[in-house]
Structure 1
Amino acid sequence: MLKFATRTWFGRIGLLLLLCLPAVLAAAEPRLLDRVVAVVDKEALMESELQQRMQQVRAQITDRGLRVPPETVLRQQVLDRLILDTIQLQLAQRAGMQLDEQTLNQTLNRIARQNDMTLRQFSQAIEADGMSFTAFREQIRQEMLISQVRQRRVGDRIQVSQQEIENYLASPEALEQEGREFRVGHILIPVTDNPTPAEITTAQQRAQGLKKRLDAGEDFQELAVSSSAGDEAFSGGDLGWRTAAALPSLFADQVVRLSAGGMAGPIRSPSGFHLIKLLEVRGGAQHLVNQTRARHLLLTPNALRDEQATQQQIRELRNRIHRGESLATLARELSDDRGSKQSGGSLGWVSPGQMVPTFEQAMNNLEPGEVSQPVQSQFGWHLIEVEERRQSDLTDALRRQQVRQLLSERRFEEEVQNWLREIRDSTWVEIRS
Structure 2
Amino acid sequence: MGKQQYAEWNRWRALGLGLLLGLSVMTTVQAEPRLLDRLVAVVGNEAVMESELEQRLEQVRLQLNDRGVRPPPADQLRQQVLERLILDTIQLQQARQAGMRIDDQTLNATLNRIAQQNGLDLRSFSRQIEAEGLDFAQFREQIRQEMLIGQLRQRRVGERIQVSEQEINHYLSSPEAMEREGREFRVGHILLPLPENPTPEQTSQTFARAEALLARLNAGEDFQTLAVSSSSGDQALRGGDLGWRSALALPSLFADQVVTLRPGQNAGPFRSPSGVHLIQLLETRGGAQHLVQQTRARHLLVAVNALRDDAQAQAEARALHARIQAGETLADLARQYSDDPGSRQSGGELGWVSPGQMVPEFEQAMQQLAVGEVSQPVRSAFGWHVIQVEARREADMTASHRRQQVRQLLAERRFEEEVERWLREIRATTWVEVRG
TM-score, normalised by the number of residues in structure 2: 0.54
Other structure's SS at 2:351 match = strand
Q: Are residue 311 (structure 1) and residue 337 (structure 2) matched?
A: no
Other structure's SS at 1:339 match = coil
Which has the greater radius of gyration? 2
Question: Match for 1:380 among 368, 379, 384?
Answer: 384
Change in CA separation of 1:148 and 1:396 when aligned onto 2, cut-off 3 Å? same
2:17 and 2:181 map into 1 onto residues whose CA distance is 24
In 1, are the aligned partners of 2:335 and 2:346 still within 8 Å (CA)? yes
Other structure's SS at 2:294 match = strand
Correspondence list, 1:132-281, <5 A: 132-147=135-150, 150-151=153-154, 154-155=157-158, 157-178=160-181
In 1, are the aligned partners of 2:181 and 2:288 still within 8 Å (CA)? no
Correspondence list, 1:51-200, <5 A: 51-63=54-66, 66-69=67-70, 71-73=71-73, 76-77=76-77, 79-90=79-90, 92-93=92-93, 97=97, 102-103=102-103, 106-116=106-116, 121-147=124-150, 150-151=153-154, 154-155=157-158, 157-178=160-181
- Report what 1:17 is aligned to: 23
AA aligned opposite 2:395:
S
1:421 and 1:381 map into 2 onto residues whose CA distance is 48
Pairwise CA distance, 1:320: 0.8
1:141 and 1:161 map into 2 onto residues whose CA distance is 34
- Report what 2:401 is aligned to: 398
Pairwise CA distance, 1:403: 3.3
AA aligned opposite 2:167:
E
2:303 and 2:52 map into 1 onto residues whose CA distance is 59
Pairwise CA distance, 1:130: 0.5
2:175 and 2:182 map into 1 onto residues whose CA distance is 14
- Report what 2:352 is aligned to: 349
Change in CA separation of 1:75 and 1:143 when aligned onto 2, cut-off 3 Å? farther
2:43 and 2:301 map into 1 onto residues whose CA distance is 60
AA aligned opposite 1:382:
V
Change in CA separation of 1:55 and 1:92 when aligned onto 2, cut-off 3 Å? closer
Pairwise CA distance, 1:152: 5.9
In 1, are the aligned partners of 2:53 and 2:81 still within 8 Å (CA)? no
- Report what 1:252 is aligned to: none
- Report what 2:363 is aligned to: 360
1:91-112 Cα shifts (integer Å, max 9, x gaps): 6437853776653662254123
Change in CA separation of 1:156 and 1:73 when aligned onto 2, cut-off 3 Å? farther
Q: Are residue 292 (structure 1) and residue 295 (structure 2) matched?
A: yes
Change in CA separation of 1:45 and 1:68 when aligned onto 2, cut-off 3 Å? farther
Change in CA separation of 1:154 and 1:333 when aligned onto 2, cut-off 3 Å? closer
Other structure's SS at 1:296 match = strand
Other structure's SS at 1:338 match = coil
2:419 and 2:385 map into 1 onto residues whose CA distance is 49
TM-score, normalised by the number of residues in structure 1: 0.55
In 2, are the aligned partners of 1:298 and 1:337 still within 8 Å (CA)? yes
Q: Pairwise CA RMSD of aligned residues?
A: 4.7
1:307 and 1:140 map into 2 onto residues whose CA distance is 41
1:314-355 Cα shifts (integer Å, max 9, x gaps): 22322215xxxx544454445443322222322111222333
Contiguous gaps of at least 5 residues in structure 1 = 181-283
In 2, are the aligned partners of 1:50 and 1:79 still within 8 Å (CA)? no
1:342 and 1:177 map into 2 onto residues whose CA distance is 45
In 2, are the aligned partners of 1:293 and 1:389 still within 8 Å (CA)? yes
Other structure's SS at 2:296 match = strand
In 1, are the aligned partners of 2:101 and 2:148 still within 8 Å (CA)? no
Change in CA separation of 1:410 and 1:77 when aligned onto 2, cut-off 3 Å? farther
Other structure's SS at 1:57 match = helix
2:112 and 2:147 map into 1 onto residues whose CA distance is 17
Pairwise CA distance, 1:149: 5.3
1:46-88 Cα shifts (integer Å, max 9, x gaps): 3x5455334333434555xx4241x545773464133223134
In 2, are the aligned partners of 1:328 and 1:345 still within 8 Å (CA)? yes
AA aligned opposite 1:415:
E
Identity of aligned residues (%): 47
AA aligned opposite 1:380:
W
1:189-228 Cα shifts (integer Å, max 9, x gaps): xxxxxxxxxxxxxxxxxxxxxxxxxxxxxxxxxxxxxxxx
Pairwise CA distance, 1:115: 0.6
Change in CA separation of 1:345 and 1:100 when aligned onto 2, cut-off 3 Å? closer
AA aligned opposite 1:377:
R
Other structure's SS at 1:352 match = coil
2:326 and 2:417 map into 1 onto residues whose CA distance is 62
1:383 and 1:44 map into 2 onto residues whose CA distance is 56
Change in CA separation of 1:332 and 1:154 when aligned onto 2, cut-off 3 Å? closer
1:77 and 1:179 map into 2 onto residues whose CA distance is 47
In 1, are the aligned partners of 2:90 and 2:427 still within 8 Å (CA)? no
Pairwise CA distance, 1:143: 3.0
